Structure 1
Amino acid sequence: MTPQSSTHVPLASADPFQLDRLAEELVTRESVHPIGKSNEPDLHDLPDYVPLSHDNPFLITPEFNVELFLLSRSHTSLPDLRAELREYLAQLKEELVKLINDDYEAFISLSTDLKDEGARLSRLKSPLGNLRSQVLQSRNELGIIQDEIQEKLEKRAILREEKALLHLLLKLSESVTRLESLLLISTPGQEDDGSAQVRMPAHLSNNDDGTEDRSRGNRAKHLGRVAAEYTQLLYHASKARIEKCIFVDEIQWRIDRIQSTISSDLDHVFAMTLLAFTDGKGEGRAAEIEKTKWVSDLTECLKTYDVLGLWRDAEDVLRRELVRGFVKKTIYPGALAAPHSPIVPHTPFHSAKTPSYLSATPLPPRTPYTPFTAFVFTKQNATYNLGSGSSSPYAHLLEDTDDPLARLYSQALRFVERDLSRIMDIAEKVSIKSLSRSRSEKDQTPSPVRDDVTSIDGFEIMANVIWEEFGRAIMDELGGIVFSSGRPNDFRHHYEISQAFIRSLEFLAPSVHSVEAMRSHPTFFTFEQRWQLPVYFQMRWKEIIGKLEDSLSITRIDPSFSKDKNAFATSQANAVWVAVTACWSAEIFIPELCHRFWRLSLQILSRYQTWLDQNLPRPDGTFKATGLASEKNSAPPSLSRSSTPFVSSEPPSAENTAADDAMLRQYTAAIVDIKTMRANVLTIWREEISMMLPEASNSADTDGVQAQEALQHALSGLTSLIPPMSNQILTILIKRCCDALLPVRSIPSQFRAMSNKRSPTEPSYFVSSILRPVKQFFGVGFGEGPGLPLSEEYLAAYSAEVFDSVSQRYVYYLSAMKKTEESLRRLKKGKKTTFSLFGSANVKDDDGGDEERIRIQMIHDVEAFGKDAKSLGVNLGSSESYKALKETVNTLEAAESS
């Protein structure tokens, strides 16, 4: 044993708890983390003992919680805690006694200090009563003085108001006297003295020097100054009337006399100025200077009318002096039969712009003019530039000089443009500049018919003068001719011309507000009501529907195909299209009847669908269920096939063949017409109808659907007839192709009966005739065919459907042949071998050769059949039926080889 081993054993036995090792580890840990020098807290520190004091957070809370206090002293046992609490209680008692002892001396001295204080308080209270009585007495005296001062102030205010009222009455009296002197009205004193003379208007009296400056040039300005003075008079009178002055009532008759005098004088001056302004005599610079003075006088007169608020009086003068006389000479019962006498515009004062009725405007396109409510054409917002100046976009409708109504309207427009346009512009500018207008406040709630025409502030010459006179004269004098709905063509022509006349008048209006005032005038509303548009629509409805029903009364579909893609194949479809386009033609359509013509168009399409559904030829059975794609997606039809189409083994008769040919032609014609109808209707919707329908109609139609959705619904009803017709066409073509496939069943017997046992190198004779019905239908290789118009869209789809169905029938025939051959083979194997003179060993070899030749012939036939279908656009790779056919041929080959 080594020394090391001898020393290790005693150490292990002497220190069984390894205390030395633990001591060493403790020394090492303390050297690395000495106590007091490390920042980490000692995890093994014992809880600190905190004695109870006044700063303990659990004792100074408003509500003492026993549980929290006990948990904070959890390290203390209950006996120790009780001792600690008793010690703290003794401490509190001791501190309380100390506080009492400290303040006891001051408490005892308090009663000694308050001794004999009652008498002193009584001595202090005795002078307060006298002081209070003196204060109350002074207060009463001050109140009396204040009341006296307030009374004097009120009397002074009353005197001041009475003085101001007296000044007001003096101003009122002075204004009345001044106005009477300015207007040369006799005063009451002059009337009593009998010295009153016959009054002559002040603005018409000439000066002593004989000049006419005051009588003509300054008469309008003189009345303007009089109007300003009269406005002040009315203001002073209104203030005096508020004060209930009797003086105002006593001089009211003088104020009324002044008002009537101003009104009459102003009317006289305005009338004279209008006549001079519209006379247009003379040429050259002198006449132009005179025109400028007349324009100035017109402006002053209109300003005076506007200041006085006599807008309707100015309109009455204008109506009486200018418009009414022209209307009487122009619009009378025999005006439409009278010879034409044009009004020549004044020169050189007249504007150089070309009149709208003389401009060479091109005729409008097929679409009628835009509905009238869409635009407001005025001189401010017009963007047309026809000829040498702006003109009404509706002027071309009034250029027909052969039409008496258009000639009359053109004459009226020339009159308005020549004599009234400048006056309306001046009146509009005056109204805009006037501070007395409140039109914007009163026009916030417009009504369709404005009854309170006289309550609108400002001039309304277009509405109250021009349109009221022209509209009423047309209704009274020419109403029996213009509004006669018995002749729809004349009615439509009169309506179009009248609406063009109204729009041209609106174009001559000075502002948009004038147009709105004209449209809301009662005469305008009455004029629009005189047009019996429902009666016109009924007559047009009978005309359109009568011709349509005459064509649809022929129930026999006799197609006539044309090379034109947009041409219809039947006369009935063409009649339907003519009826639809007639509703929106420029010779029939009226914008106010837009909804009725739209409803009629949808009804015509529905009627055509019903006619097709009732008169299309139907087979004995119903149409098959179809998997044709929706026409909305414009996808070609695809027939949903059953497992194996049934084809009669009997050859078709001549009658059945002729009936099938007629059915093919009729179905083809119906499909062509439906396709053409849909394309044409969508075109006219996009180019015309959608723009003619007002915006309100796009929100909801009569049945609560969108207008375009209603059209799509009507067209979808038509296109829903295409899938059944396509199925029937496919049924006939499939039957004919399968009839051509019948010789395939006789191939085995033919090869066994052949004496020349050679291997086939070409397909059978009947293979080329299998798809011949499809080619004949679409005219492929034949020049013409009943389905030639459908070849572009349906050739590939129909060929694929027929090819799949014939391939299924081909598979059916081959499967039947396979079963027959197997039965024959089993029958031959079951027979016993008999003696043959020539030997029987070659019989089996001959049978095997026939089967091989039949198999080769089948392969050639199937390949030729696929090539023929590929020439028609059939995708052989996507045809599952053709794949099944080739697999069937390969199966026959495998079976025969085995």
Structure 2
Amino acid sequence: MASTSRDPFELDRLAEELATREKSREDSDDATGHELPIYIPLSHTNPYLTSEVFDVEAFLLSRSHTSLRDLRSELRDYLSTLKEELVKLINDDYEAFISLSTDLRGEGARLERIKQPLGHLKTQILASKSDLQVIQDAIQEKLTKRATLRAEKALLHLLLKISESVTRLESLLLIASPAQDEESEEPRPVNLNLPEDNVDDRTHGNRAKHLSRVAAEYSQLLYHANKAREEKCVFVDEIQWRIDRIRSTLSSDLDHLFSTTLLSLTGEEGKTSEVEKAKTIADITECLRTYDSMGLWRDAEDVLRRDVVRRFVKKSIFPGALAAPQSPIVPHTPFRSSTTPASLATPSALPPRTPYTPFTSFALKTPFNHSLGSASHSPYAHILDDSEDPLASLFSQILRFVERDMSKIMVIADKVSLKSVSTARKDGFEILANVVWEEFGRAIMDELGLVVFAAGRPNEFRKHYEITNAFIRSLEFLAPSVHSVEAMRAHPVYTAFERRWQLPVYYQLRWKEIVSKVEDVLSVPRVELSSAKEKTAFASTQATAIWVAISACWSAEVFIPELTHRFWRLTLQLLSRYKTWLSESMVPDSIPVDPPSAESIAEDDKILRQYAMVILDARELHMHVLALWQEEISLMLPEAAGEERANLEDTLRESLSALTATTAPMSTHIVAILTKRCCDALLPVRSISSQFRAMSNKQMPKEPSYFVSSILRPVKVFFGIGVGQGPGESLKEHFLVSYATEIFESVAQRYVHHVAGMKKTEDSLRRLKKGKKQTFSLFGGNTKEEEGKDEERIRAQMILDVEAFGKDGQLLGVDLEQSEAFKTLTEMVHAVDGEAPPFRLNTTNETSSLGQYIESSDTWSYVQTLSAFSIRVVHANVSLCRRRDSPWWRRANILFVAFILPHFPRLREEQLGIAIGDILNKIRVT
């Protein structure tokens, strides 16, 4: 309590809360930043001091940048200022405060006197208000009655208009009124509908306009009748039968007039002048406009169907129409105007006929100009230009008829629909869909369906399908608008027509036809050479059959766009089937290692020919199918996004790559056979030393040995280089370099093997001579000089042989700089005794070829051959193996285990121990 009395405003607590709040907001204040505080002295305008409730915390926060001591001083200064102003106010207005109570005496009675007139005035005003309200109610009642009378009068006028309209329409349409019906039962005259020449001008020349005005009056009558019906007038219900009769009569007269006008325009006897033809077209336009205003679009279509189209259909489309000769469609040839009535004219009175050229709607064998509205400009017209095909001739005749008699009417009807309100709704004239296509489509299905849609004979079915689709597209070219084409394709007859095509049956027949031929050829498990009569890019009948089958899928005689996905799948299946046949029939199981014989050589020649043909055919098929994709397949596939089309192409390329990959083992087998033959030609290398030592002629050699030119001869024979035609002559462009490089590398390694063996023999002879004082020289010399000359001649001959071998390889496209084996061979033949370079061992080719040789021998041959092979490495590097810590010494010790042993799994455990011990002992002794 003592502390509270000392600090009544709890300034210490407020200071602590302020410090805590400022500390918590320190980080955010530093991040956002504040403007420098502005000192504002306390005044009467301070919002915190003038508020109804003084908020201490808000006030202190507003002065947060002022210390408590300064704030206390400022508040004390402001308090003293307030006191001074209050004292000054009291001193200045003290007299007014004192006289205020005196001045207010007697004002209450005065206010009471003022209230008395106001009560009387209020009473008068209320009385006047009630009188005015009575007057207002009376006026409102009279106005309501007047409005009711006005509405009844308007309704009576409307009914009078309806009655007058009905009477006027009956008069215009020559319909007897009810009163006349009671007096006379004679039928209504039909002069309005007859084309006699003795009727007046209104009923003959201006009938179309007359009926158009009647239709406009009828539309107004319907509007008035609907308006009166909303008022529930019994009168309208009473005369509804008369309105229906007017509609029926108007429709009948309009149908009769439209039919008569159509016959005058399209009839065979209706030869009119250009002026009369223009007037007839104007009358047809007026009739169609009248139909459109009355919403009788289907009635107009029925007239067209009945009087124009159906007559032609009955004459042209019947069960024997394809066997009957087609009569030409003669165009309407205009005559000069004549005043003689057509019904009274005789042949002698008519003017002479104008010569005409037989009509054709297609420009034959000429480029087509694509423009809507003419069948001759259709890009499909050339398909129907086949006079020998009865279906094409029939469709051409139908198109000529539509173009001659219906196209103008369809264009007029489309223009009328566009100008009228009917475009805002779904109704309107659909002459192409509801009249032309419905009649022709149904007649083709009913009368010619057994012939046109018969899928039992695929060739005829494909031709009928192509011709019929060309006819439909050409018919669409005659459409006046795109909307007409859409309406035709949405018509139920169009849907039923498309369903009549038995496309799955057609595909099954084609599939059986294509696949059966392929399977007959692939049933033979060997490659058969194509006959010279076929003149194809493929060497085998199997590849030819596959290519013919794939080409047939996309040929014009087989392909149908609606079956694109099925033919695409069949194409991939054919490629897969050929790949499977190659894998099962042609891919070799293993590389033969038998010693050469006449039978094996003949068998190898046969294999080389077959494999060469298969590899050639695989490449040719790859290129031909990709070309077919670029030129035809990619264009025939349905339109798709870029990613989908790329996926399809990737799928095709994967199939072709898998097919090409199947030939890789065949290439390996070809290389193995050629390598074996080339290595067999190297055998004379081993006899070079003995040959030179036995020769009496001690001259230095100048030419390579006789066998060098025959080392790579098998490769040249295979590719037909300098020896006529070889089995792989067609592969020379793509495989010569790769095959020659691989074969050259293997032969060079075998060459190194022979040279190393020969040097080993020379070293053995040299050591043997050193151990004896006098010995007989095998090479015909008793002095060291003669022996040295023999070695020089042998080395020179080997250098010439290796250089000639390298040149042969270069002629075949081998890059000698990239051949490690040839580099080793060159270094070996150029090396002087005691300076032999390290022996380069190709662990893949050398050991594998050695393994193939040893696999045909017994166990002790293994040991002998392995010993010789391991010791050869030491001999070839004898200068480097003199020190026991040499890395070549360690290589010789681990050579057997690391490189050779994995190739001979047939060794038993005890034999393996004997072989390892014998080999290592011989290596150490050496």
TM-score (norm 1): 0.78
Instruction: Tell me which of 407, 423, 442 is aligned to 1:421.
Output: 407
Instruction: Tell me which of 167, 179, 184 is aligned to 1:195.
Output: 184
Residue 620 of structure 1: CA displacement? 2.5
Q: Deviations over 1:634-653 (max 9, x none)?
A: xxxxxxxxxxxxxx7x8522
Is 1:260–2:248 an aligned residue pair?
yes
Any conservation in 2 of the 1:356–1:391 contact (CA below 8 Å)? no
Residue 353 of structure 1: CA displacement? 9.9
Instruction: Tell me which of 802, 805, 823 is aligned to 1:883.
Output: 823
Is 1:434–2:431 an aligned residue pair?
no
In structure 1, distance between residues paired with 2:694 and 2:112 = 167
Q: Deviations over 1:454-476 (max 9, x none)?
A: xx22x211111111111111111
Say if 1:846 and 1:651 are closer, same or farther in 2 by CA, change over 3 A. farther
Taking the TM superposition and a 5 Å limit, the aligned residue runs for 1:340-355 are 340-348=326-334
Instruction: Tell me which of 800, 807, 811 is aligned to 1:860.
Output: 800
Q: 2:322 aligns to what SS in structure 1?
A: helix
In structure 2, distance between residues paired with 1:52 and 1:213 = 105
Out of 423-432 and 315-324, give the one that drifted further: 423-432
Paired residue for 1:498? 468
Paired residue for 1:183? 173
Any conservation in 2 of the 1:217–1:297 contact (CA below 8 Å)? no
The amino acid that maps onto 1:319 is R
Taking the TM superposition and a 5 Å limit, the aligned residue runs for 1:538-557 are 538-557=508-527
Q: Deviations over 1:353-401 (max 9, x none)?
A: 985556423799xxxxxxxxxxx97635x7x9xxxxx443323333333
Say if 1:281 and 1:328 are closer, same or farther in 2 by CA, change over 3 A. closer
Paired residue for 1:873? 813
Paired residue for 1:249? 237
Q: Deviations over 1:51-88 (max 9, x none)?
A: 99869x9x9993268984449xxxxxxxxx7xx99987
In structure 1, distance between residues paired with 2:295 and 2:625 = 58
The amino acid that maps onto 1:171 is K
Is 1:62–2:55 an aligned residue pair?
no
Instruction: Tell me which of 673, 694, 697 is aligned to 2:638.
Output: 694
The amino acid that maps onto 2:326 is H
Residue 310 of structure 1: CA displacement? 0.8
Any conservation in 1 of the 2:588–2:666 contact (CA below 8 Å)? no
Instruction: Tell me which of 814, 836, 846 is aligned to 2:755.
Output: 814
Is 1:301–2:287 an aligned residue pair?
yes
Residue 265 of structure 1: CA displacement? 0.8
Q: Deviations over 1:782-807 (max 9, x none)?
A: 01111101112221222122222222
In structure 1, distance between residues paired with 2:482 and 2:78 = 98
- Provide the aligned length of Structure 1 versus Structure 2: 766
In structure 1, distance between residues paired with 2:145 and 2:273 = 67
Residue 568 of structure 1: CA displacement? 0.6
Paired residue for 2:843? none
Residue 877 of structure 1: CA displacement? 3.0
In structure 2, distance between residues paired with 1:563 and 1:762 = 49
Say if 1:745 and 1:225 are closer, same or farther in 2 by CA, change over 3 A. same
Any conservation in 2 of the 1:471–1:524 contact (CA below 8 Å)? yes
Instruction: Tell me which of 682, 689, 694 is aligned to 2:626.
Output: 682
Is 1:360–2:364 an aligned residue pair?
yes
Any conservation in 1 of the 2:611–2:670 contact (CA below 8 Å)? yes
Any conservation in 2 of the 1:768–1:865 contact (CA below 8 Å)? yes
Say if 1:867 and 1:92 are closer, same or farther in 2 by CA, change over 3 A. closer
Residue 848 of structure 1: CA displacement? 2.5
The amino acid that maps onto 2:255 is D
Out of 604-613 and 294-303, give the one that drifted further: 294-303
Paired residue for 1:270? 258
Paired residue for 1:9? none
Paired residue for 2:612? 668
The amino acid that maps onto 1:431 is S
Say if 1:891 and 1:162 are closer, same or farther in 2 by CA, change over 3 A. farther
Paired residue for 1:232? 220
Say if 1:835 and 1:62 are closer, same or farther in 2 by CA, change over 3 A. closer
Instruction: Tell me which of 314, 318, 322 is aligned to 1:336.
Output: 322
Say if 1:282 and 1:86 are closer, same or farther in 2 by CA, change over 3 A. closer
Paired residue for 1:163? 153
The amino acid that maps onto 1:361 is K
Any conservation in 1 of the 2:776–2:782 contact (CA below 8 Å)? no
Paired residue for 2:267? 279
Residue 571 of structure 1: CA displacement? 0.6
Is 1:219–2:207 an aligned residue pair?
yes
Any conservation in 2 of the 1:803–1:869 contact (CA below 8 Å)? yes
Taking the TM superposition and a 5 Å limit, the aligned residue runs for 1:724-735 are 724-735=665-676
Instruction: Tell me which of 655, 667, 672 is aligned to 2:599.
Output: 655
Paired residue for 2:31? none
Taking the TM superposition and a 5 Å limit, the aligned residue runs for 1:452-601 are 456-457=427-428, 459-560=429-530, 567-601=537-571
Instruction: Tell me which of 756, 772, 778 is aligned to 2:719.
Output: 778
In structure 1, distance between residues paired with 2:110 and 2:552 = 123
Paired residue for 1:398? 384
Q: 2:423 aligns to what SS in structure 1?
A: coil
Say if 1:129 and 1:885 are closer, same or farther in 2 by CA, change over 3 A. farther
Any conservation in 1 of the 2:329–2:359 contact (CA below 8 Å)? no
Any conservation in 2 of the 1:763–1:864 contact (CA below 8 Å)? yes
Instruction: Tell me which of 784, 797, 802 is aligned to 1:844.
Output: 784
The amino acid that maps onto 2:819 is S
Any conservation in 1 of the 2:362–2:377 contact (CA below 8 Å)? no
In structure 1, distance between residues paired with 2:174 and 2:185 = 10
Q: 1:572 aligns to what SS in structure 2?
A: helix
Say if 1:460 and 1:289 are closer, same or farther in 2 by CA, change over 3 A. same
Say if 1:418 and 1:124 are closer, same or farther in 2 by CA, change over 3 A. same
Paired residue for 1:379? 372
The amino acid that maps onto 2:149 is L
The amino acid that maps onto 1:771 is L
Q: RMSD across aligned C-alpha pairs, in angstroms?
A: 3.7
Unmatched tracts of structure 2, length 5 or more:
1-38, 50-57, 336-353, 838-878, 880-926
Paired residue for 1:644? none
Unmatched tracts of structure 1, length 5 or more:
1-50, 72-80, 365-375, 385-389, 443-455, 623-647
Paired residue for 1:709? 650
Say if 1:887 and 1:684 are closer, same or farther in 2 by CA, change over 3 A. same
Say if 1:671 and 1:801 are closer, same or farther in 2 by CA, change over 3 A. same
Q: Deviations over 1:104-123 (max 9, x none)?
A: 35465355555555555555
In structure 2, distance between residues paired with 1:351 and 1:423 = 26
Say if 1:529 and 1:834 are closer, same or farther in 2 by CA, change over 3 A. closer
Q: 2:422 aligns to what SS in structure 1?
A: coil
Residue 488 of structure 1: CA displacement? 1.6
Any conservation in 2 of the 1:378–1:509 contact (CA below 8 Å)? no
Q: Percent identity at matched positions?
A: 59
Paired residue for 1:33? none
Higher RCO (CA < 8 A, seq sep 6+): 1
In structure 1, distance between residues paired with 2:392 and 2:40 = 118
Any conservation in 2 of the 1:378–1:512 contact (CA below 8 Å)? no
In structure 2, distance between residues paired with 1:544 and 1:150 = 96
Instruction: Tell me which of 294, 302, 310 is aligned to 1:324.
Output: 310
Residue 253 of structure 1: CA displacement? 0.7
The amino acid that maps onto 1:757 is K
In structure 1, distance between residues paired with 2:759 and 2:581 = 51
Say if 1:64 and 1:353 are closer, same or farther in 2 by CA, change over 3 A. farther
In structure 2, distance between residues paired with 1:67 and 1:466 = 94
In structure 1, distance between residues paired with 2:514 and 2:569 = 13
Out of 742-751 and 62-71, give the one that drifted further: 62-71
